[in-house]
């Protein structure tokens, strides 16, 4: 079950790699509430954060591409400010990740990215930085794959999408309102709203176990 990851869990997962507890707490709050409360010190806090983590952490690309990619698309001014401060990021991989966003639209990157739990995280990051529900559209559509019993990866993508929508609807009013008003996937949205995150989480393990016993998924 360690593959079930959402942005909130990613932030908590950095606990072992961050030197300062305050840095983790401050940046974790930014990652999940920026669309509600803009932070004028985003650049300084971002530099501080990325200069104090393990640059090889596999979750970093989703955060950078999703959160900053969405934000740069929405605010050219912020994009320009980050570009002017690029050299202050100490790690080459981090700088390269940001530099790629200066030259590529997040929509192009996302179009080429495979459906997966990581893709869900990327869309959550973009939503949390912009508040744009088009990223929730992608997650909700992927949640339909939770019924997939052929492709294990697509099932996991759908299951994590469904679980994260349910979980975030309990703490983010905009997510709840989005699900309540969705027409395209009205029935799926209703089921998600009426579900409990722990039950959805446990169901993933149940399905994986059942499919493995049938010899379908190893």
Cβ neighbours of residue 88 under 8 Å, at least 6 residues apart?
A: 47
Using one digit for the tens of pLDDT, what is the confidence trace for 20-45? 455 555 687 888 899 999 999 999 99
pLDDT at 190: 97
Q: What average pLDDT is seen over the chain? A: 87
What is the band of 115 on the pLDDT scale with cuts at 50, 70, 90?
A: very high
Using one digit for the tens of pLDDT, what is the confidence trace for 117-156? 989 999 999 999 999 999 999 999 999 999 999 999 999 9
| C-alpha span between 126 and 32 (Å, rounded) | 10
pLDDT at 47: 93
Say what the pTM is: 0.89
pLDDT at 23: 52
Residue 175 pLDDT greater than 60, yes or no? yes
Q: How far apart are the first and last CA of the chain?
A: 14
Residue 9 pLDDT greater than 50, yes or no? no
pLDDT at 22: 54
Under the phi-then-psi rule, with left for phi > 0, alpha for psi from -120 to 50, and beta for the rest, what region is 85? alpha
Using one digit for the tens of pLDDT, what is the confidence trace for 187-211? 999 999 999 999 998 999 999 999 9
Using one digit for the tens of pLDDT, what is the confidence trace for 69-86? 999 999 999 999 999 999
Q: Please state, in angstroms and as integers, the Cα–Cα distance from residue 123 to each residue in 81, 134, 136, following that order.
A: 23, 9, 7
């Amino acid at each position: 079950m360690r593959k079930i990851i959402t942005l909130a869990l990613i932030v908590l997962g950095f606990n072992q790699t961050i030197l300062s507890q305050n840095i983790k707490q401050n940046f974790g709050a930014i990652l999940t509430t920026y669309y509600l409360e803009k932070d004028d010190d985003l650049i300084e806090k971002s530099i501080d954060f990325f200069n104090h983590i393990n640059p090889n952490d596999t979750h970093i690309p989703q955060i950078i591409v999703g959160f900053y990619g969405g934000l740069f698309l929405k605010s050219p001014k912020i994009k320009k400010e980050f570009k002017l401060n690029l050299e202050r990021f100490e790690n080459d991989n981090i700088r390269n990740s940001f530099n790629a966003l200066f030259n590529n639209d997040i929509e192009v990157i996302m179009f080429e990215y495979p459906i997966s739990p990581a893709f869900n995280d990327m869309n959550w990051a973009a939503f949390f930085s912009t508040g744009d529900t088009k990223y929730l559209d992608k997650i909700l559509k992927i949640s339909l794959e939770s019924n997939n019993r052929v492709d294990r990866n697509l099932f996991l993508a759908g299951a994590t999408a469904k679980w994260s929508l349910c979980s975030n609807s309990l703490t983010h009013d905009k997510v709840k309102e989005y699900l309540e008003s969705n027409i395209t996937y009205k029935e799926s949205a209703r089921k998600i709203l009426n579900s409990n995150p722990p039950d959805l989480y446990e169901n993933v393990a149940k399905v994986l176990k059942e499919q493995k016993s049938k010899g379908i998924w190893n």
